Structure 1
């Protein structure tokens, strides 16, 4: 990238980028609430759950970070990753343990523990627990290997099946119709349920893979959750509040995770965010909207799949293959291409905003 457009030349820092993001989302929330005739106060709206979620999560971080240091809950950086990441070794992880519960609490209290928000919250906390188990094993073993991928997948699938069974038993049949662009709906019938289970597992793994650069998943997650909340606001106001509170939680987390990060969210946070997004998308019947607002996360997943597939397909007699990207997931490819972390994060934020804008303008 041309040095004239480097993060230093435009005075961009992790703090400034986070402030711009927070100001932008808060302004958008106020504007959308006013346009929709929603009172910007205690009640069903975007603004206050976003703001309270951010404040509570940020404050919780100040209390929990010293405890993570005392527990020596340090991140172990993969040796084959970008060399610049080696200096991050020792930074506390498991940050999801404070901002996810704080945001979920705001959503539950704000909606009076409504049934759909309670279901989405329990699923989010269940995925947080799976992530915590993985992070704790990483810390305990003093390596970057947590629980086995097979066990993690089985736990994710188990939670997904339990969630789908609950939704199937408690929701109306209309939930199996998926909203698509320009006001149309696509009735899926029973096929909706295996798709929903797949979405829960795929979304949580996609957000997990995206969490690899300071502030990346926190900010992109805040944008995606906010966008999904706006999409489902007309038909599912309680789930809108849930999304707004979780979006605020991500903003509060950025107080501690912006570049240079004082804490990482770990699988504890990233798996939970994927679960929250998927749960809200399923309960609102807005899987297409979910796909659009989280397309960046699936691009990260696709880059890993393509990298592994291309390497295996081009493997020679020496057992070595070629690489499609310099490194996967995609954000590492850009880092190794000369982009700074802040440039990667800034561009990914911009792409997320464009995806959300497209989704809101085409899906009603």
Structure 2
């Protein structure tokens, strides 16, 4: 898919400085809230915030690492002319974003993986989740590279992308089978006090979740700071939920959340860089992989509420258009544009309002699940 932003303009020269400061404000508030929450929760969990197995240390290390590395990588991406190709049929206000470097996932995803692997002492589960994350990031990188090479907004074919996602999902599920922990095939529904013994049906579900979650995250990446911020909230909450049962994967979640915050320093409005499919596919894969290993799929479903609605908006738009297609081959549109964030933009919402509201919704969902 595609991600967007705007040209970076020095605040002293920007004719819309308030927008720049608001972008910084949203990112700063989110970073402060997640940092404060991690410290508080570490205290409640009798963890020293600076100890290796905590929420705070991996969050802060990854945030700092991604933020600092971005200062070096972004100029390199600019020199390599990796400017984003903007869809002509997208919101017209986004056309000015053409040329902003993309493929930002190449620096903040590895930071999270390295921090998580080192702090977890290269735990087996963390290595497996990291491998899946990097594999999906590789798919995204291939797609981003093809877009840049062809100078269009079309990368590899949807069938090829889907095939690669299924292949890596199958390999990950194969590893889960070899691991031998089949308790994960009983899906726990804590809110109902029930368990669903899926047995063999769990494996096609697992593959579907990996592919669907990565694509849903990908669809959400269309406005400066939207995907990075909402994923930072969702995967942080997932880490909180599994803290007592899977401390190493908690570290992974905190590292990914922190890396998203570090990336957000460069991706908040007005964005200096986009994550591209390289980042969005990897983030979705990370969320799904952790949920599968820790048997927290119901929690993932709630935490992914934003991504789920964004995906539904696209499906509804396409379905309605096809259902209302007339003799002239043209149908009606249910929304002004899909995904939902573009529809809201075209109804008069600013990018910052969309991002702010989506952050709040993501935070509410996170609190509901964590409680």
Instruction: Give TM class, smaller chain.
Output: over 0.9
Partner of 1:66 in structure 2? 75
* CA displacement 1:152-175 (0-9 Å, x = unmatched): 000000000000001111141112
Task: Provide closer, same or farther for how the CA distance between residues 317 and 339 of structure 1 changes in structure 2, counting only shifts above 3 A.
Answer: same
**What secondary structure is seen at the aligned counterpart in 1 of 2:122?**
coil
8 Å CA contact 2:19, 2:269 repeated in 1: no
Partner of 1:323 in structure 2? 333
Partner of 2:318 in structure 1? 308
Partner of 2:22 in structure 1? 13
Kindly state the Cα deviation for residue 234 of structure 1 after the two structures are TM-superposed. Answer: 1.6
Partner of 1:129 in structure 2? 138
- Name the TM-score, length of structure 2 as normaliser: 0.93
Partner of 1:246 in structure 2? 256
| Cα distance in 1 between the residues matched to 2:20 and 2:201 | 50
Kindly state the Cα deviation for residue 217 of structure 1 after the two structures are TM-superposed. Answer: 0.3
Select which of 178, 189, 214 maps to 1:180: 189
Partner of 1:85 in structure 2? 94
8 Å CA contact 2:58, 2:115 repeated in 1: yes
| Cα distance in 2 between the residues matched to 1:10 and 1:269 | 25
Give unmatched runs, 5+ long, in structure 2.
1-15
8 Å CA contact 2:87, 2:153 repeated in 1: yes
- Name the TM-score, length of structure 1 as normaliser: 0.95
* CA displacement 1:180-205 (0-9 Å, x = unmatched): 23354332222111111000000000
Partner of 1:263 in structure 2? 273
What's the C-alpha RMSD, in Å, of the aligned pairs? 1.5
**What secondary structure is seen at the aligned counterpart in 1 of 2:196?**
strand
| Cα distance in 1 between the residues matched to 2:170 and 2:338 | 30
- Could you list the structure 1 runs, at least 4 aligned residues long, displaced by more than 4 angstroms after superposition: 7-12
Q: Does structure 1 residue 222 correspond to structure 2 residue 238?
A: no
**What secondary structure is seen at the aligned counterpart in 1 of 2:146?**
helix
8 Å CA contact 1:179, 1:289 repeated in 2: no
**What secondary structure is seen at the aligned counterpart in 2 of 1:57?**
helix
Kindly state the Cα deviation for residue 11 of structure 1 after the two structures are TM-superposed. Answer: 10
Kindly state the Cα deviation for residue 360 of structure 1 after the two structures are TM-superposed. Answer: 1.2
Question: How many equivalent pairs are there?
Answer: 355
Partner of 2:223 in structure 1? 213
| Cα distance in 2 between the residues matched to 1:9 and 1:75 | 25
Q: Which range moves more in the overlay, 194-203 or 9-18? A: 9-18
8 Å CA contact 2:139, 2:164 repeated in 1: yes
